[in-house]
Amino acid sequence: MLRVIGKRLALLIPTLFGLSVLLFLWVRSLPGGPATALLGERATPEAVARVNELYGFDEPILLQYFTYMGKLLQGDFGTSIITGRPVLEEFATRFPATIELSIVALIFAIGVGIPLGYMAARHYGRFVDHGSVVLSLIGITIPVFFLAFILKYLFAIQWPILPPDGRQNPRIDATHVTDFYVLDGILTGEYDAAWDAFLHLILPGLALGTIPLAIIVRITRASVLEVQNADYVRTARAKGLMEKTIRGRFILRNAMLPVVTTIGLQTGLLISGAVLTETVFAFNGIGSFLRDAIFELDYPVLQGFIIFIAILYALINLIVDVSYTIIDPRVRVQ
């Protein structure tokens, strides 16, 4: 197994290499450049030329690429043009926020999605089933930003029971150790800060978790429906096994395979949802940072970010594959 994992990790290298070439060409084929974003609306053509020279944007693209990759291989993701800080440092300060948010979204999606999908299948054709199908359909069709907006308007402005924006009430003087605010509050014993940070996660977490939730409900339902009519389940019933055992060991476990795949894919997709959710909730994670980078064509940030996400995605896929073997020993990672 370890060898397989090693092999999969090694395969990442050519994948990332190919991706980096495509990405580099793509980012630089966007019209314009960061110079005007940096210099403002009265930039003279000479000033733009000077900035392009300063950052090396006037050099042949191949040369730019090799310079970039050379640095990347040494772990240097470059410096953000807009903020003037190293890209890696920017990521490091902002990723905890997004990860924290994604965890809440996932817990919500999995924690509600699997039981709901399972119940729908168990009560096939009944009210719970129809209800969950309709709900998941709505969940899939509503755009993330719209849902985020509605949630915020209802629960933060119309009935202000939850905070509307940010990661923490700025008036709370909290100590930050890991930059995971909830964790920080618990570690330092500042429980009110942890609680406050948690409250700030609920609305964006719900918004971000809704699409994965809807998808997990559908997949779980379909999968359980299929499995519960399988021959081996019937055989198990005929043999007089306890219903609890049948449901747990035979149905749910076997039905989990496609669900785990879905969860893996959705985890990767959470980041793109975060761009919109974080913007609406002024939640300063990697999503809102990426939004600004796109608007201002901050090349190093865009490149670094996409490479970073590619690595993350590949790792998630690997984890999904490995977890298959745990759920179903017949499946082997190859």
Partner 1 sequence: MFTSKSARAAHPKRTRAAAITAGAAISALLLSGCVQSQREEDGGAGANGDVDSTFVFAASSDPASLDPAFASDGESFRVSRQIFEGLVGVEPGTADPAPLLAESWETSEDGLSYTFALKEGVTFHDGTDFNAEAVCFNFDRWYNFTGLAQAPSVSYYYNNLFRGFADSPDAAVYESCEVNGDLEATVTLAKPFAGFIPALSLPAFAMQSPTALQEFNADEIGGSSEAPQLSEYAQGHPVGTGPFKFDSWNVGEDLTVSAYEEYWGEQGDVQQVIFRIISDPQARTQALQAGTIDGFDLVSPADIPTLEEEGFMIVPRDPFTILYLGINHKVEELSDPLVREAIHHAIDKQALIDQTLPAGTQLATQFIPEVVDGYNEDVTTYEYDPDRARELLAEAGYPDGFELQFNYPTDVSRPYMPTPEQVFTNISAQLGEVGITVTPAPDVWTPDYLDRIQGTENHGIHLLGWTGDYNDTDNFIGVFFGQEKPEFGFDNPELFGALSEARGMTDREEQTALYEDINEQIAQFNPAIPLAHPAPSLAFVERVESYPASPVNDEVFNLIELSE
Q: Which of residues 283-312 bind partner 1 (CB under 8 A)?
A: 284, 288-289, 291-292, 295-297, 300
- Beta carbon of residue 116, minimum distance to partner 1 (angstroms, whole number): 10
CA gap 313, 306 in Å, rounded: 10
| Phi, psi for residue 86 in degrees, rounded to 5 | -55, 140
CA gap 134, 262 in Å, rounded: 19
Over 192-225, what HEC string results? HHHHHHHHHHHHHHHHHHHHHHHHHHHHHHHHHH
200-229: contacts with partner 1 (CB under 8 A): 202
Tokens in use for 106? Answer: 């996932």
Interface size with partner 1, residues (CB under 8 A): 87
Taking the least distance from each CB to partner 1, the nearer of 82 and 144 is 82
Taking the least distance from each CB to partner 1, the nearer of 33 and 264 is 33
- Beta carbon of residue 306, minimum distance to partner 1 (angstroms, whole number): 18
Stretch that binds partner 1, among 10-18, 38-46, 213-221, 228-236 (CB under 8 A): 38-46
4-23: contacts with partner 1 (CB under 8 A): none
H helix runs in the chain, sequence order: 2-29, 34-39, 45-55, 61-73, 87-122, 127-141, 144-152, 181-187, 191-228, 231-238, 243-245, 253-280, 286-295, 299-327
Taking the least distance from each CB to partner 1, the nearer of 18 and 107 is 107
75-134: contacts with partner 1 (CB under 8 A): 78-86, 90, 93-94, 107-108, 110-112, 114-115
- The residue type found at 151 is L
Residue 155 is classified by DSSP as: I
**327 binding partner 1? (CB under 8 A):** yes
Binding mask 229-268 for partner 1 (x = CB under 8 A): -------------------xx--xx---------------
Please give the span between the terminal C-alpha atoms of the chain, in angstroms, as a whole number: 9
Question: Residue 78: CA atoms inside 13 Å, Cβ hemisphere, count?
Answer: 21
| Phi, psi for residue 83 in degrees, rounded to 5 | -95, -15
Q: Which of 4, 43, 187, 333 binds partner 1 (CB under 8 A)?
A: 43
**70 binding partner 1? (CB under 8 A):** no
Taking the least distance from each CB to partner 1, the nearer of 15 and 245 is 245
| Phi, psi for residue 298 in degrees, rounded to 5 | -80, 85
Q: Which of 101, 120, 136, 167 binds partner 1 (CB under 8 A)?
A: 167
**139 binding partner 1? (CB under 8 A):** no
- Beta carbon of residue 79, minimum distance to partner 1 (angstroms, whole number): 4
- Beta carbon of residue 14, minimum distance to partner 1 (angstroms, whole number): 27
**What angle is formed at CA 111 by the lines to CA 288 and CA 106, rounded to 5 degrees?**
20
CA gap 289, 90 in Å, rounded: 9
- Beta carbon of residue 171, minimum distance to partner 1 (angstroms, whole number): 6
- Beta carbon of residue 275, minimum distance to partner 1 (angstroms, whole number): 12
